[in-house]
Amino acid sequence: MKKILLTFLLAGTLFVPAFAQLTDTEQAFIQKCYDNVDKAKKQLSPETAKECVTKLNDGNASLLNKLRAETSASGNSAVAGDIVAYNNALVDLKGIIANYKGSDLADALTRVIEGEDCALCDLGLGPKPESIFAWTGEKAGGRLFEVKKSVKTWEALGEIRINSLSRPEHGFNKEKWNEQAIPLRYEKLSGWAKKEVDKLEAFAAMPGKAEGSAGYISKMARLLWEDLTMPGDEVYREKLNKLVTGAAKPDAGAVSGKTDKEDKKSKEMASSAEKAASLKGQSTASQQDALNKYFDNAEAKKGLAVTPAGGAAAVLAGGAAAPKEFKPVKMTEAQAAALSAKMATVKDGKMTGYLADEIKGTKAGNEVLDFYNKKPYDKTGYNTLNLKFEEGKGQTANALGWWSDSDRTTRVNTNLVDAYCVKNKITPEQLLASDAHMKGVATYVAPNFVHESTHQRQSAWARANGLDFVKYKGGITGAPYIYPMEKESFGMQSAFSAEKASKLGPSYLASISPSHRANAEQFMEDGLDTLSIEKHALYPGVDSMEGGAAREFKAARDVSTYVDALEQKKRTDPAGLTEKQVADLRYYKGQMDTKYKWYTMNYQKSAADEAKLLAWRDSLDDDGAIRTSAPPAL
């Protein structure tokens, strides 16, 4: 068995004894994976990294397990951890750069190069965004300009901004500007743009302007619009709109012509900034709660915008106003409690109620029912159904519902129910007394209930498998929050809606929100890939599987090194180990075992979840011929 030379990742050179359990081919492959993330060797290939991550996890992670056993026995467990952390980090970075753009890209890069436990930073990629340019140019050349634009690097700001920001009143130059973190660059540009809007307004008000001033105003307005991305900037955007409209020239509509595109950018960035700001300093569990709320908020908003006339959400948007004589009555807390009990409760070990009736008979719904009906997570105590209809306020004002890991409760917003009552011209009291209306509410909220219940099941799964190693205040534990959890939840709710549609037809599709309908359509057409990539942009602070692995193993690097030192001492001088060191060795080895278990189980679960959902999907339609008649229209 030949010896393998491993260059220690960040310092010096390490000779590692032959790995007795590895074949020559396996050893060569491990060497390749290690060399790939050796900063000194300057490879950092995302393709090699992907190959390493995939092969290490193939076949129930058999190669990774062998590597762990070998490196642990020889006191070199940090080697395995480095291979996992840094190759995953490269896969994650390439995926981010290849799949996202604009503010979504900026958010994702902020997460992986400016966040805590930055594995990429150990490879020289971060925390400054400019440090990834050379790598991007080499590994994803076509995306370099997009990356530069998204992180607002000095040279990509453009001449107008650079000239202005260089003036004494702003005092920036390239170095000073690029010293700032990505979110701060967006913030500074917003502040600058607001001042420039005021100047532009003053200019527009001047009498006797030169010919062509309307064109100038329009051009500047378009440019400034891009930078008004922070919460509260809407006022200034409105000013720009008025300025351009007031210019009344052929190009006067230039800004409004760009409104939708730039409005998207603005809202995404503002939303991201709000999210980032509100999540700062919160525990992971709190962040998860908040992010769940954000998702559902987005769903609610979508529903508001495009639900066909007559839909419940259209009422919220004012699209189906109630008759003048009808005075809406808000649901009281007591009525909300009564509604919760009628919608879903567990009696004699079985979930019952309108929601139970709505979801049963579907594959996803049956799994949810099984979960609450004590199978298979009863021992965890995490499968108790706590459903609460509650008025959303602040961040949750427009949310359909949200799952809170901290108190293990699924909440549904009573604002939705109020809207349903307005649409149907009934009071909450009448709703509670009407079987038909209770069914209608259940139909509307069921996809979200499936989504949030899936999150609860994930918590129970982590608990049951001992993967809840993240500890929070109040004795709460949980597994790291990673995006595959959302992918599964979206998959479950989409599969649920698709199956209901396949059974009930167009009338069902008209009774759910357009975003739920769109998710189901996307799922049926192309599986989970596109759905997954698009939805991840709604969760800028949440790592992918690879990103989460990189962060966790980077965070555990010191632990690995300490365990290695203790293992070596145990071999060379066992009598010299103190009692505390013996206890530490056991404890920290256990920690690392749990972390690897979390990694490999999640990797496998992610693939298994997708395989299951795709199989469900395949059962929802047949191979029959294309219809020759026009599709049904409502």
Partner 1 sequence: MKTAIFALLLSPALLSAQGQERNDKMQEKSLKHSEAPYFTVTLPAGWEKKDSPFGLSAKEKKVFGVEVFGPAGADGIECTISVHYYAPGNLLHKTMEKYIKRHAQPVLGANLDAKQYAKVKDGSVAGYSAKLFERIVYEYLPPESIKQKKVAVYEHFAVVPAKAGFFVLKYHAQKEIAKGNIKAFEGVLGSFVRLVK
**Interface positions, 505-544, toward partner 1 (CB under 8 A):** 505-506, 509-510, 514-515, 517-518, 520-521, 524-529, 532-534, 536-538, 544
Torsion angle of the four alpha carbons 390, 395, 400, 402, in this order, in degrees rounded to the nearest 10: -70
> Which residues inside 279-298 make contact with partner 1, applying CB under 8 A?
297-298
Distance of closest approach, residue 28 Cβ to partner 1, in angstroms? 21
| 267 binds partner 1, rule: CB under 8 A | yes
CA angle 91, 127, 168 (to 5 degrees): 140
Nearest to 80 by CA among 37, 50, 46: 37
Non-local CB neighbours of 523 within 8 Å, separated by 6+ positions: 491, 494, 495, 498, 531, 613, 617
> Which residues inside 194-253 make contact with partner 1, applying CB under 8 A?
none
Alpha helices by DSSP H, listed for 128-212, are 133-139, 144-150, 159-165, 174-178, 182-205
Q: Considering the complex, state which of residue 140 and residue 559 has its C-beta at the smaller distance from partner 1.
A: 140
User: How many CB atoms neighbour CB 414 within 10 A?
Assistant: 24
Beta bridge partners of 401: 412
- CA 73/CA 19 separation, integer angstroms: 10
> Which residues inside 307-326 make contact with partner 1, applying CB under 8 A?
308, 317
Q: Which stretch binds partner 1 (CB under 8 A): 17-25, 216-224, 302-310, 322-330?
A: 302-310
Q: List phi, psi (to 5°) of 173.
A: -135, 180
Q: Considering the complex, state which of residue 79 and residue 151 has its C-beta at the smaller distance from partner 1.
A: 151
- Contact residue for partner 1 among 181, 223, 555, 614 (CB under 8 A): 614
Distance of closest approach, residue 451 Cβ to partner 1, in angstroms? 16
Inter-residue contact 33 to 54 (CB < 8 Å) = no
Helix (H, G, I), strand (E, B) or coil at 409: strand
Query: Binding pattern to partner 1, positions 332-371, x when CB under 8 A?
Result: ----------------------------------------
The first and second tokens of residue 181, run together, are 């973190």
Q: List phi, psi (to 5°) of 181.
A: -70, 160
Helix (H, G, I), strand (E, B) or coil at 159: helix
- Contact residue for partner 1 among 18, 181, 306, 329 (CB under 8 A): 306
Q: Considering the complex, state which of residue 11 and residue 633 has its C-beta at the smaller distance from partner 1.
A: 633
Q: Considering the complex, state which of residue 265 and residue 463 has its C-beta at the smaller distance from partner 1.
A: 265
Inter-residue contact 387 to 410 (CB < 8 Å) = yes
End-to-end CA distance of the chain: 71
Distance of closest approach, residue 507 Cβ to partner 1, in angstroms? 9
Distance of closest approach, residue 297 Cβ to partner 1, in angstroms? 8
Nearest to 414 by CA among 306, 329, 492: 329
Distance of closest approach, residue 245 Cβ to partner 1, in angstroms? 18
Alpha-carbon separation of residue 209 from 110, 159, 217, 255 (angstroms): 43, 24, 11, 20
Nearest to 380 by CA among 487, 290, 477: 477
- Contact residue for partner 1 among 189, 304, 336, 592 (CB under 8 A): 304
Distance of closest approach, residue 619 Cβ to partner 1, in angstroms? 11
- Contact residue for partner 1 among 208, 265, 276, 336 (CB under 8 A): 265
Q: Considering the complex, state which of residue 324 and residue 627 has its C-beta at the smaller distance from partner 1.
A: 627
- CA 365/CA 367 separation, integer angstroms: 5
Q: Considering the complex, state which of residue 367 and residue 610 has its C-beta at the smaller distance from partner 1.
A: 610
Q: Which stretch binds partner 1 (CB under 8 A): 12-20, 121-129, 428-436, 500-508?
A: 500-508
Q: Which stretch binds partner 1 (CB under 8 A): 303-311, 411-419, 433-441, 473-481?
A: 303-311
Query: Binding pattern to partner 1, positions 544-583, x when CB under 8 A?
Result: xxx-------------------------------------
Taken in order 356, 362, 366, 367, the sign of the CA dihedral is: negative
Q: Which stretch binds partner 1 (CB under 8 A): 248-256, 264-272, 373-381, 406-414?
A: 264-272
Q: Which stretch binds partner 1 (CB under 8 A): 75-83, 192-200, 259-267, 437-445?
A: 259-267
CA angle 164, 168, 173 (to 5 degrees): 65
Distance of closest approach, residue 100 Cβ to partner 1, in angstroms? 10
Q: Considering the complex, state which of residue 285 and residue 501 has its C-beta at the smaller distance from partner 1.
A: 501
Query: Binding pattern to partner 1, positions 144-183, x when CB under 8 A?
Result: xxx-------------------------------------
Q: Which stretch binds partner 1 (CB under 8 A): 142-150, 183-191, 327-335, 364-372?
A: 142-150
> Which residues inside 27-56 make contact with partner 1, applying CB under 8 A?
54
DSSP code string of 190-255 = HHHHHHHHHHHHHHHHSSSPPTTHHHHHHHHHHHHHHH--STTTHHHHHHHHHHHHHH-STTTTHH
Distance of closest approach, residue 50 Cβ to partner 1, in angstroms? 9
- Residues binding partner 1: what is the number (CB under 8 A)? 82
Q: Considering the complex, state which of residue 116 and residue 260 has its C-beta at the smaller distance from partner 1.
A: 260
Nearest to 414 by CA among 451, 439, 440, 441: 441
Q: Considering the complex, state which of residue 171 and residue 632 has its C-beta at the smaller distance from partner 1.
A: 632
Query: Binding pattern to partner 1, positions 79-118, x when CB under 8 A?
Result: ---------------xx--xx-xx----------------
Nearest to 52 by CA among 80, 76, 84: 84
Task: Judge if the upstream peptide bond of residue 231 is cis by omega within 30 degrees of 0.
Answer: no
Q: Considering the complex, state which of residue 242 and residue 612 has its C-beta at the smaller distance from partner 1.
A: 612
Query: Binding pattern to partner 1, positions 377-416, x when CB under 8 A?
Result: ---------------------x------------------
Distance of closest approach, residue 494 Cβ to partner 1, in angstroms? 11
- CA 42/CA 174 separation, integer angstroms: 27
Q: List phi, psi (to 5°) of 346.
A: -110, 120
- CA 587/CA 594 separation, integer angstroms: 11
